Amino acid sequence: MLTDQERAQAADILMEAERTRVQAVQLSKTFPNIEIEDSYAIQSETTRRKIASGRKLLGHKVGLTSKAMQQSVQIDEPDYGHLLDDMMLHDGAKVPHSNYCVPRVEPELAFVLAKPLKGPGIGLLDVLRATEYVVPAIEIIDARVQNPRKIFDTVADNGAAAGIVLGGRPVRPHDVDLRWVGAVFYRNSEIEETGIAAGVLGHPAMGIAWLANKVGRFGTVLEPGHVMLSGSFTRPVMADKGDTLHADFGPLGSVAVQFT
């Protein structure tokens, strides 16, 4: 377990890496005694500082929702991060590649809430009742710490959250079987990944339920109007300068982003 001073120092390291776009040495190396509780505390501290500087909380993201990804980092549950207003990009946005350290992208479904969700005890039907609509999304993830990363590094680094692009056709949560929403993910003209949303804990709404129950232990409520990224159902795709990433969600439309 880290001291408060060490947690603050770790937050300084991450803030500087994000500012300079230069990856820092892994926190798990700098602070060998780090635990997962420390990582979430560091994430909360960096988020607190950003909000204090004028940024606004937009919502949350859920990551590591597939068994394969969990096994790759030796954990048995997902993780989460905070989404801030300056991460929001419009469909088809052109963003400077230099804004990031090593950007990667993932197709996901975003849930926009109409009612609050507060755990514990939140289940699938609670999420569906609280959701105003679901919309296709691309998440930009960016590691501010070097490889090889451990789960402590990723969690402290806000789950690598760096950007969110919404597009396509919003749908009510009961209008389609969300488990079977699929995406074909292109980099430029080539298909890089395909998947269906059931890859997220069996149903993408279960990612939101997990999140509500996880943060509910700390008294955090998922608020109406907040955007919740439910987790990727493909592997992340590297984004190089000049690349256009395009996710085709079939009947739900598509969403794209270009790195300039």
Task: Tell me if 222 sits within 8 A of 211, measured CB to CB.
Answer: yes
pLDDT by position in tens, the chain (length 260): 999 999 999 999 999 999 999 999 999 999 999 999 999 999 999 999 999 999 999 999 998 776 655 555 555 678 899 999 999 999 999 999 999 999 999 999 999 999 999 999 999 999 999 999 999 999 999 999 999 889 899 999 999 999 999 999 999 999 999 999 999 999 999 999 999 999 999 999 999 999 999 999 888 999 999 999 999 999 999 999 999 999 999 999 999 999 99
Q: Backbone phi, then psi, for 234, in 5-degree steps?
A: -140, 170
The CA distance from 123 to 121, in Å, is 6
Task: Tell me if 101 sits within 8 A of 17, measured CB to CB.
Answer: yes
The CA distance from 141 to 15, in Å, is 16
Q: Which two tokens stand for residue 154?
A: 């990723």
The CA distance from 157 to 134, in Å, is 26
Task: Tell me if 2 sits within 8 A of 10, measured CB to CB.
Answer: yes
How many other C-beta atoms are found inside a 10 Å radius of the C-beta of residue 6? Answer: 17
Amino acid at 184: V
CB-neighbour burial class of residue 192 (10 A; exposed 0-12, middle 13-18, buried 19+): middle
Going from the C-alpha of 147 to that of each of 28, 239, 255, the distances in angstroms are 11, 17, 29
Q: pTM for this one?
A: 0.94
The CA distance from 219 to 119, in Å, is 8
Task: Tell me if 244 sits within 8 A of 93, measured CB to CB.
Answer: no
- What is the dotted CATH code of the domain comprising 57-259? 3.90.850.10
What SS3 state is found at 63?
strand
- The closest of 64, 96, 68, 66 to 81, measured between CA atoms, is 64
CB-neighbour burial class of residue 253 (10 A; exposed 0-12, middle 13-18, buried 19+): middle
CB-neighbour burial class of residue 247 (10 A; exposed 0-12, middle 13-18, buried 19+): buried
